[in-house]
Chains A and B, each alone.
Chain A
Amino acid sequence: MTSSMTNVLNRSQKKANRPSDEQLAAFGAELDALRERTLSDLGERDARYIRRIVAAVRYTEVIGRGLLFFGLFPPAWIVGTLLLGISKILDNMELGHNVMHGQYDWMNDPHLNGKTFEWDLVGTGDHWRKTHNYSHHTYTNIKGMDEDIGYGVLRLFPEQRWRPFFLGQPIYAIIFALLFQWGVAIQDLRFGKFFNGKKSGKEMLEEMKPFLKKTRRQLVKDYVIFPLLAGPFFVPVILGNLVANGIRNLWTYTIIFCGHFTADVQLFPKSVLKNETRGHWYFRQIRGSSNLTGSKLLHVMSGNLSHQIEHHLFPDIPAHRYAELSVEVRAICQRYGVHYNRGSLVSQFSQVIWRILRYSLPSRYVPINASA
């Protein structure tokens, strides 16, 4: 064997390396201690931060929508659309996503309550709390349980069986990205079951009611009320809303895919759940997630999901704390030889694209590694 080959081998072995049970117990205890330290420190600073985000959402929305009324003047349209897109991104990510995790429940503020918060998105908060907070966060990267693995339309891992359907995947991926909010919104409705006859039309309609109600509200707001307010200038307003929603869709798609579908992330079989200890659980969260390095702006605009690893370890800690936590988490991982996956947006997203392209083509089916 050449030395460079040994290096590659060592590298991939090192990444898949799982510490012993005793080591994982100590590893878990260190992360628990970090968690407690942070929780006991929550206070004014975090409250001020999230209120600043709320203010940013409100101001960008009002200024963005205001500028769109003058949308016949191209610079106003461009800036207005961008600001509205930014407003929706902040609302969905740094505000909505994080508040709905209960990250700010300790403030006891009814407007920032994880159970009741509603966001500017067609998917309902309640639906999200189920698929995302519950299924995805509890069963992160467990094949057959975490429905975020490919969202039921994409094959991103050799552990998923290839079918000719996946040949069209590069195209589905683009459509899915453009319509990301819709894909996420209908994820839990399981249209598949309806189409293959396992669910009646009536049942389907019943389940769709909250979704339809929320969708109507969103569509009326973006495509009827605000355009009407613009009177004769309704066309630029409609277009601006459409593009702003599109910008938000592409951006959230990019960030979320970078969080779990980069080259080195690992899938797990259902069997890991049997007697999974706190340390194992933490380990699985780290190995199933990947971080983005970048500026403060990137972190805020991604709702700090750029710190996907920290988010999965501590989903209920205010996300703006992840940056400082990540320093300690990395040090802990290093001590226990646990691979900590991070890279720039360009490098991580290229790996996502590579997965989308590579696994659209046939590849040997890899049965999932029961010892992972």
Chain B
Amino acid sequence: MMASQTLKRIVAPLVDPAVYDFWAQKISPTLSWDRCLARIESRHIEARDTVSLILKPNRQFQGFQPGQHLNVTVEVNGIRLTRSYSPSDTLRSDGRIRLTVKAIPEGRVSRHLVHHSKVGDVLELGAAFGDMTLPKEAAAWLLVAAGSGITPIMSLLQTLLQKPLEQPVALIYWARTRADLCFSEDLHSLTNRDPLLKIHTVLTREDHRLADELGGRPREALFRNLIPDLERRRVYVCGPDGFVTSVRGLLEPHAALFRAESFSPAPVVTRAGAPVTVTLSKSNVSVQVPSGTPLLKALEDSGLKPAYGCRMGICNTCSCQKQTGSTTDTRNGAVQNEPGPVRLCINSANSDLTLEL
């Protein structure tokens, strides 16, 4: 491994990664000089509109900690799109990763992965992020999940259960109906495994709930009933933005520790003229500019000097990579929420932006 790394560093100046990848991928579709590619090894249906994908990453994969998420890039209709997904399994000895994805209506990436991806397709993986990870010491846990927010929670739970529990662990899992519950069998078998583990499911739209199923939205009484010792619990929560906000209000003041992750939707779009923050990641500068003004002019007005040529969208001189945020093409009003190259002279900001400048 070390030797191959050294060899790689020596020959690097002679290698064009694009050419290397082209030929290497004739041998194996996930080989790459410098990118982490992963092949879909198998798919299975996990719940309504939800599939689990087992991925085999190449050697560029840096790993993850249970509870973290990865940036996953797929090509949909010729366009590479990036979204976050949390591995839903503990670290596996065979190096495979399991992602569990729920198709949302109109969702470009989720619908592609759920309905159109095939065994053998190749995805790109980025580095792992997130601080909802497990500390070394044992602790009493309360894990709360809603919808596809179960994914990192499942990974955490399975990791906790690799050893006999020393302190109590509870999972409260919200879903709309029984058909929307992921990992039902796994969860069922886990319940019998350790007396210190309690699993509760809450179904908000199920007409005929079973005896052990609860109903309704998050509320104080429910948490108090299920978790009398809330004060000593460390709480991790994952789910849609609104859900996370309401659980935060209920639990954060009482719990020993509170961390949450929301699978938040598209960036907040401000009204034209309102100030937004543009962060230039290479030069490590942040400036406030008015939204709605072409970025080239807005940045110049802040005293910066981005490269430009024609100032009318022809020459591509001003183009740079947008890492995060939403922009509008000032010529036709088209909104672009995806990361990718933007021409500063003909795009204005709708939200805070990070540009690779």
By a beta-carbon cutoff of 8 Å, the part of chain A in contact with chain B is: 32, 36, 39, 42-48, 54-55, 58, 100-102, 105-109, 111, 113-115, 118, 129-130, 133-135, 137-138, 315-316
Is there contact, CB below 8 Å, between B341 and A113? yes
Q: Roughly how many angstroms separate A315 CA and B343 CA in the complex, as a whole number?
A: 14
- The segment out of B90-98, B187-195, B290-298, B309-317 that lies at the interface is B309-317
Is there contact, CB below 8 Å, between A44 and B21? no
Is there contact, CB below 8 Å, between A115 and B320? yes
Considering the complex, give the chain A residue whose CB is closest to the CB of B341: A105
Q: Roughly how many angstroms separate A185 CA and B19 CA in the complex, as a whole number?
A: 23
Q: Roughly how many angstroms separate A372 CA and B325 CA in the complex, as a whole number?
A: 44
Interface size class of B (residues with CB under 8 A): 20 to 34
By a beta-carbon cutoff of 8 Å, the part of chain B in contact with chain A is: 16-19, 21-23, 75, 77-81, 309-310, 312-317, 319-320, 331-332, 338-341, 343
Q: Roughly how many angstroms separate A54 CA and B313 CA in the complex, as a whole number?
A: 26
Contacts of B312 on A, CB cut-off 8 Å?
A: 138
Contacts of A130 on B, CB cut-off 8 Å?
A: 309, 317
CB distance from A360 to the nearest CB of B (A): 32
Is there contact, CB below 8 Å, between A134 and B341? no
Is there contact, CB below 8 Å, between A138 and B22? no
Partner of B79, one of A107, A113, A129, A316: A107
Q: Roughly how many angstroms separate A58 CA and B77 CA in the complex, as a whole number?
A: 24
Instruction: Enumerate 11 A-B pairs (CB-CB under 8 Å) in ascending A order.
Output: A44-B77, A45-B78, A47-B79, A58-B19, A58-B23, A107-B78, A108-B338, A111-B17, A111-B21, A115-B341, A315-B315
Partner of B22, one of A39, A42, A54, A102: A54
Q: Roughly how many angstroms separate A118 CA and B17 CA in the complex, as a whole number?
A: 12
Contacts of B314 on A, CB cut-off 8 Å?
A: 133, 137-138, 315-316
Contacts of B81 on A, CB cut-off 8 Å?
A: 108
Considering the complex, give the chain B residue whose CB is closest to the CB of A101: B316
Contacts of A46 on B, CB cut-off 8 Å?
A: 78
CB distance from A312 to the nearest CB of B (A): 9
Contacts of A134 on B, CB cut-off 8 Å?
A: 309-310, 315, 317
Is there contact, CB below 8 Å, between B320 and A105? no
CB distance from B337 to the nearest CB of A (A): 13
Contacts of A135 on B, CB cut-off 8 Å?
A: 309
CB distance from B39 to the nearest CB of A (A): 18
Counting from the closest, the 8 A-B pairs by CB-CB distance are: A47-B78, A134-B309, A102-B316, A138-B310, A108-B340, A134-B315, A111-B18, A43-B77
Is there contact, CB below 8 Å, between A133 and B317? yes
Contacts of B23 on A, CB cut-off 8 Å?
A: 58
Q: Roughly how many angstroms separate A46 CA and B77 CA in the complex, as a whole number?
A: 9
Contacts of B21 on A, CB cut-off 8 Å?
A: 111
Is there contact, CB below 8 Å, between A114 and B313? no
Considering the complex, give the chain B residue whose CB is closest to the CB of A134: B309
Q: Roughly how many angstroms separate A102 CA and B16 CA in the complex, as a whole number?
A: 20
Contacts of B339 on A, CB cut-off 8 Å?
A: 108
Q: Roughly how many angstroms separate A55 CA and B23 CA in the complex, as a whole number?
A: 10
Task: List 19 extra interface pairs beyond A105-B341, A107-B75, CB under 8 A.
Answer: A45-B78, A46-B78, A47-B78, A48-B78, A102-B343, A106-B79, A107-B79, A107-B80, A108-B81, A108-B339, A109-B80, A111-B17, A114-B316, A118-B16, A129-B317, A133-B316, A137-B314, A138-B314, A315-B314
Is there contact, CB below 8 Å, between A115 and B316? yes
Q: Roughly how many angstroms separate A41 CA and B308 CA in the complex, as a whole number?
A: 28
Q: Roughly how many angstroms separate A113 CA and B18 CA in the complex, as a whole number?
A: 11
Greatest chain B CB density within 10 A among A36, A105, A108, A130 is at: A108
Is there contact, CB below 8 Å, between A129 and B316? yes
Considering the complex, give the chain B residue whose CB is closest to the CB of A133: B315
Q: Roughly how many angstroms separate A134 CA and B319 CA in the complex, as a whole number?
A: 12
Is there contact, CB below 8 Å, between A114 and B315? no
Contacts of B316 on A, CB cut-off 8 Å?
A: 100-102, 105, 114-115, 129, 133, 316
Is there contact, CB below 8 Å, between B77 and A105? no
Q: Roughly how many angstroms separate A102 CA and B309 CA in the complex, as a whole number?
A: 14
Q: Roughly how many angstroms separate A32 CA and B334 CA in the complex, as a whole number?
A: 14
Is there contact, CB below 8 Å, between A108 and B79? yes
Considering the complex, give the chain B residue whose CB is closest to the CB of A50: B78
Contacts of B17 on A, CB cut-off 8 Å?
A: 111
Contacts of A47 on B, CB cut-off 8 Å?
A: 75, 78-79
Considering the complex, give the chain B residue whose CB is closest to the CB of A138: B310
Contacts of A102 on B, CB cut-off 8 Å?
A: 316, 319, 341, 343
Q: Roughly how many angstroms separate A144 CA and B316 CA in the complex, as a whole number?
A: 22
Contacts of B313 on A, CB cut-off 8 Å?
A: 316
Greatest chain A CB density within 10 A among B19, B77, B315, B341 is at: B315
Partner of A106, one of B22, B317, B331, B340: B340
Contacts of A109 on B, CB cut-off 8 Å?
A: 80
Contacts of B79 on A, CB cut-off 8 Å?
A: 43, 47, 106-108
Contacts of A138 on B, CB cut-off 8 Å?
A: 309-310, 312, 314-315
Is there contact, CB below 8 Å, between B315 and A129? yes
CB distance from B36 to the nearest CB of A (A): 13
Q: Roughly how many angstroms separate A307 CA and B201 CA in the complex, as a whole number?
A: 63
Is there contact, CB below 8 Å, between A36 and B332? yes
CB distance from B289 to the nearest CB of A (A): 22
Contacts of B22 on A, CB cut-off 8 Å?
A: 54-55, 58
CB distance from B62 to the nearest CB of A (A): 18
Contacts of B77 on A, CB cut-off 8 Å?
A: 43-44
On whether A137 and B310 interact (CB within 8 A), knowing A42-B78, A114-B316, the answer reads yes
Contacts of A44 on B, CB cut-off 8 Å?
A: 77-78
